Amino acid sequence: MEQAQVFSDFLTHKGLKSTIQRKLILETFLASRSHCSIEDLYLKLRKKHSKIGYATVHRTLKLLVECGIAIEQHFGDGHARYEPVRENSHHDHLVCRECGEIIEFEEPRIEQLQNQVAMAHNFTIISHRHELYGLCSGCAQK
Amino acid sequence: MEQAQVFSDFLTHKGLKSTIQRKLILETFLASRSHCSIEDLYLKLRKKHSKIGYATVHRTLKLLVECGIAIEQHFGDGHARYEPVRENSHHDHLVCRECGEIIEFEEPRIEQLQNQVAMAHNFTIISHRHELYGLCSGCAQK
DNA sequence: AGGGTTTTGATTATCATTATCGATTGATAA
DNA sequence: TTATCAATCGATAATGATAATCAAAACCCT
């Protein structure tokens, strides 16, 4: 099922309404580069629909997180970032401190070790975050 | 060299002054449970030195981070937490979403895989964060 | 001990996020 | 289609953590 349908069903199920703003925000979010901030999306949306409010973008992104279409990320610059959820594709991040580039990585062996660690502490994992901060290849050369 | 000396040398080197507040904050910080917030420390300090200001605690913790005595952690509840740095003992965290308990873990095999990931991207690691969020054994039973 | 500089503590500013509120819109039933 | 009414919008104010400001006090060096 495509995301627009998932969102629509989610809204109906919660007794919420489908509005042109919500549709537009979802559409713009999905068409954007990954890891965009609220500010990024807001500015892009203003070009199509100049009256849209910052609060509406904010509220709608929370809804997208709630219904599983987006996930919220924090990389330490004080701006929450949002990323579309892809099926069967968990990944973590390399974050360049210099240019801000964000590179995704997957390492199933790390995930497996994580599970071992949790098990050793009788801990039930709900989610995790794993980020490596440093310099990307371009910035390291300078 | 003990931490009080490290801090004192750091202050001298930077042309900063040793004050009773700074000494008291360091002392109280080192005596506290790990992962304490600014609020935690502030409240504890007020009992010994009722006039100390919130801003002073805040500023001094930043200094402790700068001179390598403390590290700052963020576990997603909006409160920065500070932890004394121990030599040769890097660790990461399990964070209970229910009771807030923070459990430390070390897994050299994960660190090794991290390095491999970074190398594959020509990425230079400066620091990293790795946190597993979920339920501790106590909270999972309920 | 004294003078110049830093620090303190109280307060205010800042920034991201969240709450509020009157006007407007969407969904449902007549 | 229209009426109804709750949900939503957009603007703005509130919030909360952190950072900046500034006069008074403390510190350090001579």
pLDDT in tens, chain A (142 residues): 789 999 999 999 999 999 999 999 999 999 998 899 999 999 999 998 879 999 999 999 999 999 999 999 999 888 999 999 988 778 999 999 888 899 999 999 999 999 999 999 999 999 999 999 999 999 998 8
Q: Calculate the average pLDDT of chain B.
A: 93
Q: What are B25-38's pLDDT values in tens digits? A: 999 999 998 899 99
d(CA B95, CA B41): 20
pLDDT of res. B86: 86
Number of Cβ pairs closer than 8 Å across A and B?
Answer: 110
CB contact under 8 A, B137 and A125: no
Q: Are residues B97 and B77 in the same domain?
A: no
Q: Are residues B8 and B75 in the same domain?
A: yes
Are B54 and B38 in contact by the 8 Å Cβ rule? The answer is yes
pLDDT of res. A125: 96
How many domains would you assign to chain A? 2
Band (pLDDT 50/70/90 cuts) for residue B55 is very high
**Which residues does chain A have within 8 Å of residue B116's beta carbon, measured at their own beta carbons?**
107
Q: Are residues B27 and B96 in the same domain?
A: no
**Which residues does chain A have within 8 Å of residue B76's beta carbon, measured at their own beta carbons?**
74
Check which CATH number belongs to the domain holding A119 and give it: 3.30.1490.190
Answer with the one of B64, B84, B104 that is the final residue of a domain.
Answer: B84
pLDDT of res. A100: 86
Q: Which of B25, B114, B104 is nearest to B70 (CA)?
A: B25
Instruction: Kindly tell me the number of DSSP H helices and DSSP E strands found in chain B.
Output: 6, 6
Band (pLDDT 50/70/90 cuts) for residue B77 is confident
pLDDT of res. A87: 81
d(CA A45, CA A83): 17
Answer with the one of A84, A101, A118 that is the final residue of a domain.
Answer: A84
Q: Are residues A73 and A16 in the same domain?
A: yes
Q: Are residues B67 and B110 in the same domain?
A: no
For residue A122, give how far its alpha carbon lies from the nearest alpha carbon of chain B (Å): 5
Coil, strand or helix at A19 = coil
Q: Are residues A118 and A55 in the same domain?
A: no
Asked if the C-beta of B129 comes within 8 angstroms of chain A's C-beta atoms, the answer is: yes
Q: Are residues A48 and A80 in the same domain?
A: yes
Average confidence (pLDDT) over B72-93: 90
Q: Are residues A38 and A104 in the same domain?
A: no
Q: Are residues A66 and A116 in the same domain?
A: no
Q: Are residues B73 and B103 in the same domain?
A: no
Band (pLDDT 50/70/90 cuts) for residue B48 is confident
> Domain limits at A21?
3-84
Q: Are residues B69 and B127 in the same domain?
A: no
Band (pLDDT 50/70/90 cuts) for residue B42 is very high
Higher pLDDT pick, B26 / B77: B26
Answer with the one of B46, B68, B84 that is the final residue of a domain.
Answer: B84
Backbone angles phi, psi at A111, to 5 degrees: -60, -40
Asked if the C-beta of A49 comes within 8 angstroms of chain B's C-beta atoms, the answer is: no
* ipTM, 2 dp: 0.84
pLDDT of res. A98: 87
Band (pLDDT 50/70/90 cuts) for residue B139 is very high
Q: Are residues A77 and A126 in the same domain?
A: no
Higher pLDDT pick, B72 / B33: B72
Higher pLDDT pick, B50 / B73: B73
Check which CATH number belongs to the domain holding A15 and give it: 1.10.10.10
Find all residues with CB under 8 Å of B5, minimum gap 6, and list them: none
Which nucleotides of strand C lie under 7 Å from a protein CB? 6-11, 15-20, 25-28
CB contact under 8 A, A136 and B123: yes
| Token representation of residue B130 | 């790795």
With a 7 Å cutoff on the CB, does B64 touch strand C?
A: no
pLDDT of res. B116: 97
For residue A139, give how far its alpha carbon lies from the nearest alpha carbon of chain B (Å): 9
